[in-house]
């Protein structure tokens, strides 16, 4: 006689595997701790912006008085307006410079592509403090005293590189057959660009512009070096105000700026999603990772 086979419930095997998957548990735990490290301080700023007490870090109860104080503070409203103007102008300049560069990278390949991409990546990875010092020296040598013009140029250099990669990523993921079909049907290059290429890349241009706006709005280091009297941006004002002590109006205006930033990023993602991009495609387009497959 043969001994009866001992069967193990099927549900216990996956459970045992999950318990033994120690590397996976550690990786998920580390990811969770990373998110806590990054976002809990931001949550504290948002929470304490509703502190009704006189000092930011001493909780006296819930209230929205600091938002009213921030919106009636002339220094805050002036610097916030300057930040919006600089971000808007820098976005326009970045789109004008970055869009043609992205089209050329995606549609006019050649030996120049790799050196040009190297320049783009150098702009992105160079420490901002190095960029800020170099821009300041250049503008002083050029006798350019307008703080607004300095800020727009300084922000546009970095943001143009970002938009170049985003437009490149968008076009690199699209087949050229539609453009070639338009040419075969007799459409001149200008008309083919307006009716075929431009609609295809427009979501990336809009998303890149929104991302450029948020990057310019939040910039601190370059703005610190390039600001002049009367043209300080809001991040520079907030950074300077920390030296005299934390107050609720700083937390309130920081929360409002955070909302504007999130709204712009959400709009960029929405534009790309409505254009037919998958969630993975949106992430690749915004980070420019699609460019690697076409240029390597």
pLDDT of 69-109, one tens digit each? 888 888 888 998 999 999 999 999 999 999 989 888 887 77
CATH topology classification for 67-295: MetI-like fold (1.10.3720)
Q: Which residue has the higher pLDDT, 21 or 85?
A: 85
* CA 220 vs CA 72, 172, 227: distances in Å: 23, 33, 10
The CA distance from 118 to 124, in Å, is: 10
pLDDT at 97: 93
When pLDDT is cut at 50, 70 and 90, the band that residue 293 belongs to is very low
- Per-residue pLDDT of 218-264, as tens digits, reads 888 999 999 888 888 988 888 887 776 677 788 888 888 888 888 88
Answer whether residue 288 shows pLDDT above 70.
no
CB half-sphere exposure, 142, CA atoms < 13 A? 11
The residues spanned by each domain of the chain are 14-48, 67-295
Flag whether pLDDT at 187 surpasses 90. Answer: no
Of 12, 193, 233, give the one whose Cα is nearest residue 100.
193
């Amino acid at each position: 006689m043969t001994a009866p086979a001992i069967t193990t419930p099927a549900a216990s095997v996956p459970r045992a595997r999950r318990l033994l998957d120690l590397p996976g548990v550690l990786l998920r735990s580390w990811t969770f701790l990373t998110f806590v490290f990054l976002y809990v301080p931001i949550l504290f700023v948002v929470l304490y912006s509703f502190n009704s007490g006189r000092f930011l870090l001493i909780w006296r109860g819930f209230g929205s008085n600091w938002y009213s104080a921030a919106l009636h503070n002339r220094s805050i409203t002036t610097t916030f307006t300057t930040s919006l103007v600089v971000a808007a102008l820098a976005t326009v300049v970045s789109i004008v410079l970055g869009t043609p560069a992205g089209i050329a990278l995606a549609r006019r390949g050649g030996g120049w592509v790799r050196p040009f991409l190297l320049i783009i990546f150098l702009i992105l990875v160079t420490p901002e403090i190095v960029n800020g010092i170099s821009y300041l020296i250049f503008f002083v040598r050029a006798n350019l005293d307008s703080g607004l013009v300095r800020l727009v140029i300084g922000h546009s250099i970095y943001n143009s590189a970002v938009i170049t990669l985003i437009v490149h990523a968008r076009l690199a993921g699209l087949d050229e057959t539609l453009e070639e079909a338009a040419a075969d049907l007799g459409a001149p290059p200008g008309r083919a660009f307006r009716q075929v290429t431009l609609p295809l890349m427009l979501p990336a241009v809009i998303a890149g512009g929104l991302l450029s706006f948020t990057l310019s709005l939040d910039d601190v280091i370059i703005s610190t070096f390039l600001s002049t009297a009367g043209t300080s941006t809001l991040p520079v004002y907030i950074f300077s105000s920390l030296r005299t002590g934390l107050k609720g109006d700083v937390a309130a205006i920081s929360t409002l700026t955070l909302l504007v930033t999130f709204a712009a990023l959400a709009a960029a993602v929405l534009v790309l999603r409505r254009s037919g991009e998958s969630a993975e495609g949106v992430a690749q387009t915004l980070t420019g990772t699609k460019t690697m497959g076409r240029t390597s």
